[in-house]
Amino acid sequence: MRAWIAFGRGMGILPMCAAGILPADSGRSGRARMALRRTGKMPVPRRGRLSYVFLAIGIAAAAVLAAGAGEAPATKPVAANLIRNGSFEVRSGPRKLYPAEPWGYGLLDGVSRSPFAHWGYSGFWDGGDYDIKLGEGRTGRLCARLVCRKRGRGGICTDAIRVRPGTKLRFSGHFKAKGARGPCWVNFEGDGGDGWARIDLPARQDYDWTEVAGEVTVSPPRPQRKPAADGTIAVHVFVYTRAYGELWIDDVSLTPIAEP
- Residue 244 and residue 180 in contact, taking contact as beta carbons nearer than 8 Å: yes
To Ca ion, the closest distance from the beta carbon of 251 in angstroms equals: 6
To Ca ion, the closest distance from the beta carbon of 173 in angstroms equals: 11
Does the protein bind Ca ion through residue 241 (CB under 5 A)? no
Cβ-based nearer residue to Ca ion, 189 or 250: 250
Cβ-based nearer residue to Ca ion, 33 or 91: 91
To Ca ion, the closest distance from the beta carbon of 151 in angstroms equals: 27
Does the protein bind Ca ion through residue 48 (CB under 5 A)? no
Cα 110 from Cα 216, distance rounded (Å): 25
Cα 200 from Cα 139, distance rounded (Å): 22
- Residue 161 and residue 237 in contact, taking contact as beta carbons nearer than 8 Å: yes
Angle at alpha carbon of residue 201, lines to 199 and 207, rounded to 5°: 160
Cα 167 from Cα 234, distance rounded (Å): 12
Cα 159 from Cα 256, distance rounded (Å): 17
Cα 3 from Cα 25, distance rounded (Å): 33
- Residue 119 and residue 88 in contact, taking contact as beta carbons nearer than 8 Å: yes
Does the protein bind Ca ion through residue 250 (CB under 5 A)? yes
Radius of gyration, CA atoms only, the chain: 36
The footprint of Ca ion on this chain (CB under 5 A) covers a number of residues equal to 5
Cβ-based nearer residue to Ca ion, 140 or 195: 140
Cα 42 from Cα 53, distance rounded (Å): 18
Cβ-based nearer residue to Ca ion, 128 or 135: 135
124-132, 179-187, 196-204, 243-251 -> range binding Ca ion (CB under 5 A): 243-251
For residue 176, which of 204, 207, 201 has the smallest C-alpha distance?
A: 207
Binding Ca ion (rule: CB under 5 A), the pick from 86, 135, 137, 165 is 137
Does the protein bind Ca ion through residue 156 (CB under 5 A)? no
Cβ-based nearer residue to Ca ion, 205 or 255: 255
Does the protein bind Ca ion through residue 87 (CB under 5 A)? yes
59-67, 96-104, 130-138, 146-154 -> range binding Ca ion (CB under 5 A): 130-138
33-41, 133-141, 183-191, 219-227 -> range binding Ca ion (CB under 5 A): 133-141
Position 122, amino acid? S
Does the protein bind Ca ion through residue 140 (CB under 5 A)? yes
Helix/strand/coil for 45:
coil
Q: Residue of minimal CB distance from Ca ion?
A: 137
To Ca ion, the closest distance from the beta carbon of 175 in angstroms equals: 12
By the criterion CB under 5 A, which residues form the site for Ca ion? 87-88, 137, 140, 250
